[in-house]
């Protein structure tokens, strides 16, 4: 019996799935494990938008996932939220899948202090970043960093909170170190992103991006990346004298950051997007790489590698990822999302060879050596998600996940091998297409890979699938958030 035969109806809900990551899959049927937020009349919540691997945070040998949950009451479409917690989610090991509630799988929570101040709606969620993949204090447990930036506020500044493991039960973010910008020196400031470059000569490094600032007293301050090492983040800290990378002449810029060893020297490099909205000065959107170890730089133009977007399009580089595993030609690729036109935020991905970063150079979009391009039925999201998810199909090469639009709704996740050259049609996915028929579900808002939960030696996939429905109270529109995360087991030739 060929369990992966397309003619066989597979009902894998709650059952060990032999062919879980091969071919076209239904998220409602083929997921190995589904974790829902709530059931029945309980409050619904925004869940699945922000996820991060948490390593083994409690020493039981099983990796966890940490995410953001924004709870809201349903009664009378009340738009006021209740506290915003971060939650640590236990993923069961072995072959025990099925359907579970988030409450049953939650190990720890971090309520956000003063939720009435910090809640900023859907836009605020996209400015929340979680880092939870390293043991910062050497005690054998994963530690957590949460970066939260309020939006549409002139009085509340962004903050970064550190929480040391092991994490069990309710945690108090105010009781542990917090990183802020001095509140008396500017009109508004926030922290947009947070990354953690490894191997940079320090035990660990925090890179925090400051939001653009305009003040009549201070003049216009451009966005900046601030680099802090371990000793500078031992307690409540103000960002004053840390080394910075300034964005030259780019007020109101949009940022996106990640770290990867692009040049193979064993030291993490920093990849940054400077995506310029239409209201900003006439500056081209760019993706730049700064070679590690990170010691600061005088300006964005001092980057070691720059890929020029060639236009003022806001969406160039909004999503990018590095496929640094065994690709088809053995070299890492920097995949950059590129819209097909200025007014269309979805389109294609260009793959750029990185090479040696010791000699600074600039590339144009035309210098990509491969392209993943949409067809008439499939549209690739260039700002939702793009990630190296490891080897999920057992062929010895890493795959890249991309969120896929259908009828202008993100409802699928497709997996591709990073091409070495030429053009690849978006419908020619290499490993799997994970689909969902609910038009209100944003499949792929967060995608994690590279962790083996069931112990078979293959990368398993964690997919965030938040969903929402809308209503109206008086003159105000209201969105009620629900959601879930789904785990799909890797499936190789040995299955």
The band of 412, judged by pLDDT with boundaries at 50, 70 and 90, is confident
Whether residue 482 has pLDDT greater than 50:
yes
pLDDT (mean) for 148-169: 69
332 has a pLDDT exceeding 50: yes
With bands split at pLDDT 50, 70 and 90, how would you rate the model's confidence at 35? confident
**Could you tell me the two tokens for 41?**
């009349």
Reduced to 3 states (helix: H, G, I; strand: E, B; else coil), residue 174 is helix
Q: Name the residue among 248, 244, 323, 332 with its Cα closest to residue 290.
A: 244
User: 10 Å Cβ neighbour count for 455?
Assistant: 11
The rounded mean pLDDT for the chain is: 68
Residue with tokens 């690709």: 327
What pLDDT sits at residue 33?
84
- Confidence check: pLDDT of 246 > 50: yes
Residue holding tokens 């496929």?
Answer: 323
Measured between alpha carbons, how far is residue 6 from residues 25, 200, 352 in Å?
10, 48, 36
Q: Lowest-pLDDT range, 66-70, 108-112, 231-235, 450-454?
A: 231-235
Give the residue from 37, 35, 38 showing the smallest Cα distance to 98.
35
Q: Which pLDDT band holds residue 8 (cuts at 50, 70, 90)?
A: very low
Give the global pTM.
0.79
Query: How confident is the model over 318-334, as a mean pLDDT?
Result: 78
DSSP 8-state class, residue 211: P
Mention the CATH class of domain 23-488: mainly beta
For 448, the token pair is 């994690």
β pairing state of 446-451 and 386-390: unpaired
Phi first, then psi: give them for residue 422, nearest 5 degrees: 80, -165
Identify the three-state secondary structure at position 357.
Answer: coil
Residue 486's nearest CA partner among 154, 11, 28 is 28
Q: What is the DSSP letter of 416?
A: E
pLDDT given for residue 343 in this prediction: 54
Query: What is the reported pLDDT for 407?
Result: 61
Q: What pLDDT band is residue 446 in, cutting at 50, 70 and 90?
A: confident
Among the ranges given (97-101, 264-268, 325-329, 476-480), the one the predictor scored with the smallest mean pLDDT: 476-480
The pair of structure tokens assigned to 440 is 């209100």
Gyration radius (Cα) of the chain, Å: 22
- Angstrom distance (rounded) from CA 114 to CA 118: 7
pLDDT tens string 88-147? 888 876 656 678 888 888 889 888 766 555 544 444 444 567 877 777 777 888 888 887
- Position 194 pLDDT exceeds 60: no
Each domain of the chain, given as residue ranges in start order, spans: 23-488
């Amino acid at each position: 019996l060929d369990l992966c035969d397309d003619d066989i109806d597979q009902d894998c809900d709650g059952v060990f799935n032999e062919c879980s990551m091969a071919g076209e899959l239904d998220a409602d049927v083929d997921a190995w494990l589904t974790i829902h937020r709530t059931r029945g009349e309980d409050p619904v919540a925004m869940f699945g938008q922000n996820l991060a691997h948490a390593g083994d945070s409690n020493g039981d040998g099983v990796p966890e996932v940490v995410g953001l949950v924004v709870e809201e009451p349903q009664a009378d479409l009340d738009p006021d939220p209740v506290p915003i917690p971060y939650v640590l989610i236990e993923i069961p090991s072995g072959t025990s899948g099925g359907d579970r509630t988030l409450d049953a799988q939650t190990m720890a929570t971090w309520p956000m202090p003063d939720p009435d101040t910090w809640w900023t709606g859907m836009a605020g969620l996209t400015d929340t970043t979680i880092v939870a993949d390293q043991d910062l204090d050497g005690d054998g447990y994963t530690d957590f960093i949460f970066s939260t930036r309020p939006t549409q506020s002139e009085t509340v500044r962004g903050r970064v909170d550190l929480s040391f493991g092991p994490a069990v039960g309710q945690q108090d973010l105010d009781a542990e170190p917090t990183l802020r910008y001095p509140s008396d020196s500017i009109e508004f400031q926030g922290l947009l992103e947070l990354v953690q470059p490894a191997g940079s000569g320090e035990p660990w490094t925090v890179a925090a991006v400051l939001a653009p600032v305009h003040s009549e007293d201070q003049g216009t301050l451009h966005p900046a990346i601030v680099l802090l090492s371990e000793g500078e983040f031992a307690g409540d800290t103000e960002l004053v004298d840390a080394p910075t990378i300034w964005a030259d002449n780019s007020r109101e810029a949009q940022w996106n950051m990640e770290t990867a060893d692009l040049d193979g020297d064993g030291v993490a490099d920093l990849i940054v997007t400077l995506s310029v909205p239409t209201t900003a000065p006439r500056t081209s959107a760019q993706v730049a790489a700064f070679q590690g170890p990170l010691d600061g730089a005088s300006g964005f133009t001092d980057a070691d590698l720059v890929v020029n977007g060639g236009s003022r399009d806001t969406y160039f580089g909004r999503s990018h990822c590095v496929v640094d595993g065994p690709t088809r030609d053995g070299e890492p690729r920097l995949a950059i999302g590129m819209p097909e036109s200025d007014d269309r935020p979805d389109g294609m991905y260009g793959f750029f060879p990185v090479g040696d970063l010791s000699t600074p150079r600039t590339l144009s979009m035309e210098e990509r050596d491969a392209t993943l391009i949409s067809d008439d039925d499939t549209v690739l999201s260039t700002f939702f998600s793009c990630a190296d998810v490891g080897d999920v199909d057992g062929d010895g090469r890493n795959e890249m996940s991309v969120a896929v639009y259908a009828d202008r709704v993100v409802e699928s996740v497709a997996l591709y091998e990073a091409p070495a050259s030429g053009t690849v049609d978006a419908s020619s996915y290499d490993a799997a297409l994970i689909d969902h028929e609910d038009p209100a579900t944003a499949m792929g808002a967060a995608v994690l890979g590279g962790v083996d939960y069931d112990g078979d030696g293959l990368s398993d996939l964690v997919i965030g699938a938040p969903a929402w429905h809308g209503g109206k109270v008086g003159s105000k529109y209201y969105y009620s958030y629900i959601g879930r995360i789904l785990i799909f087991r890797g499936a190789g030739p040995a299955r």
